[in-house]
Amino acid sequence: MTTLTGIGEPCELRMAIVLSTYHDFVTNRLRDGALEALKVAGLSTDAVVIASVPGAFEIPQAARRLAVSGRVDAVICLGCLIRGQTPHFDLIASAVVQGITEASLDSGVPMTFGVLTTNSAEEALVRARDDSSNKGWEAAQAALSMARLFRKFPPKASESMG
- Residues annotated as catalytic are 88
Using alpha carbons, list the distances in angstroms from residue 4 to 92, 138, 147. 35, 20, 12
Residue 81 contacts residue 56 (beta carbons within 8 Å) = yes
Using alpha carbons, list the distances in angstroms from residue 82 to 58, 103, 119, 120. 16, 23, 6, 6
In three-state secondary structure terms, 21 is coil
